[in-house]
Amino acid sequence: MAPVAAKPISLTVRPLQVANLCFEVGGILGESFVELGSQVSAFNFDRFYMTLRGVYPPTTGGPAVHPATTDDPSRLKYDSDGIDAVTKHAPKSTPAPNTSFDEPIPIGSTGGMLDLWDFGGKALAAMRAETAKSALNKAVNARANAFITKYGGAAAIADVMRKVMPQRGDYLNRLSELSIGLKDLLEAAYLQDFGVNTVIRKTSTVTSATSGPNKGSSMTKGPDEKVLTTATNDFIGTENQKSETTGFEYRSPNHENQARDARTQIGLGEEIISFVKETHFLDRLEEVYRNELESIDADVNQLQVAYLNTILMSPIDGIVTGVYKNPGDPIAAGEPVYRVENNAVVLIVARVVCREPIAIGSILQVKTTLFDAAGSPAVVIEAPIVSVRGQGQAGQWEVVAKQSNRDAAGKQIFPIGYNFDYDNTEVNIVGVGHS
């Protein structure tokens, strides 16, 4: 189909990707690692988040092992220092300004700017976040203690519990039988002594007895002190004493015996319920421990993300074209700190007058002399139209076309924000009216 001429009103080049980077939380800007013109690489947020929260399947008979651990499986790798090592530049090291103003590699390129193994680019800035650091490090230490004392030995603990817990059930049944047997024995004895449903008063009786031999003698003397007669008596005496005290409290031994047994059975019933709760999942005990450990890891992950929110990374490759905050400045959540633009792929935004309908998928053809340089050869650009909007006046359109910003030699074609000189520009639409 023959091209249809369109009269240009304005032609502007915009970067495909522009990011006004901000923090998710408010605070004070503590460090800045870039300046105007610095080239930045995209940080692979998705990969890093997956690393923080991912869990490998457990090995046979062993505990779950978190992939983001050190050589010690109890110690998570990404405490505050671990996150700093991944996201921040080495001390006294900042990326050099992009003095040549070369643009990032094209989107989708397999070039080496983004290293997925170390999650890509580094931080542009960081807030003061000592409180978040302390909370994260405390949680990592608590997780390590929990792993050492319990979850690291899940297989051994489960094996012992499967052997010991059934014995506990046997002992509970035996205790119940013994309690019932004791109740029956006491009931038989009480019935023999007191009868059925007998109420007695408490009585205390003390009985004492004393006994022993006793001897006596007597003499009769005359005036001259001569003994006239002598008499000797032998006898044995016995004394008995009984003291009885009656109290005011009445007792029913048989009923008390039955009440004691009822209380014992209630207590044993509660222990049996507890036993069932603790043993019905013995065949899935490793899974329970794994879920508990994953819950702990999820709590740690929340603190990891909270600390990560105080570090500003770029989700796109590009160049820093705007700096709005400096260290020491207060920052509100969502307030722009840097602007990063990626000019590897551009959008050509054109306002044109065309008497024919324009459809998405048509080709915007631009013939121009770049930078209006005298003697420069004309450049022909053909870019697919990705957006079309009528402007309310007959024949006026706003079209947006997507174009790579590299020539055959790999050099940049348009600088950021380039405006065409439409005195030396010819615009045509190829494929008018067809999508």
Per the model's pLDDT, the better-predicted residue between 423 and 39 turns out to be 39
Is residue 307 situated within a structural domain? Answer: no
Is residue 155 situated within a structural domain? Answer: no
Residue 276 reports pLDDT greater than 90: no
Name the CA dihedral angle for 393, 396, 398, 402, rounded to a multiple of 10 degrees.
160
Share the mean pLDDT of the chain.
82
Residues in CB range of 170: below 8 A, 6 or more apart? none
What is the model's pLDDT at position 99? 42
Is residue 405 situated within a structural domain? Answer: yes
Among candidates 353, 364, 355, 349, which has minimal Cα distance to 420? Answer: 349
Is residue 167 situated within a structural domain? Answer: no
CB 310 within 8 A of CB 80: no
Among candidates 5, 8, 1, 9, which has minimal Cα distance to 356? Answer: 5
Is residue 336 situated within a structural domain? Answer: no
What is the model's pLDDT at position 58? 42
Residue 317: both structure tokens together = 């490759």
Per the model's pLDDT, the better-predicted residue between 210 and 193 turns out to be 193
Among candidates 315, 346, 203, 191, which has minimal Cα distance to 257? Answer: 191
- φ, ψ at 395 (rounded to 5°): 85, -5
Residue listed under structure tokens 């409290």: 249
The vertex-73 CA angle with 67 and 78, nearest 5°, equals 55
Residues facing 238 on adjacent strands: 211
Is residue 322 situated within a structural domain? Answer: no
CB 383 within 8 A of CB 362: no
Domain extent for 385: 341-430
How confident is the model over 107-123, as a mean pLDDT?
A: 54
In this structure, of 161-175, 225-239, 264-278, the range with the lowest mean pLDDT score is 225-239
CB 365 within 8 A of CB 428: yes
Is residue 228 situated within a structural domain? Answer: yes
The vertex-99 CA angle with 377 and 125, nearest 5°, equals 130
Residues in CB range of 355: below 8 A, 6 or more apart? 4, 395
How confident is the model over 363-388, as a mean pLDDT?
A: 85
Residues facing 427 on adjacent strands: 6, 366
Residue 318 reports pLDDT greater than 90: yes
Secondary structure letter of residue 261 according to DSSP: H
Total structural domains within the chain:
2
Report how far apart, in Å, the C-alpha atoms of 399 and of each of 18, 115, 426 are: 19, 36, 15
What is the model's pLDDT at position 12? 93
Residue listed under structure tokens 């959540």: 333
Residue 204: both structure tokens together = 């205390």
Cβ atoms within 10 Å, residue 267: 12
Is residue 345 situated within a structural domain? Answer: yes
Residue 102 reports pLDDT greater than 50: no
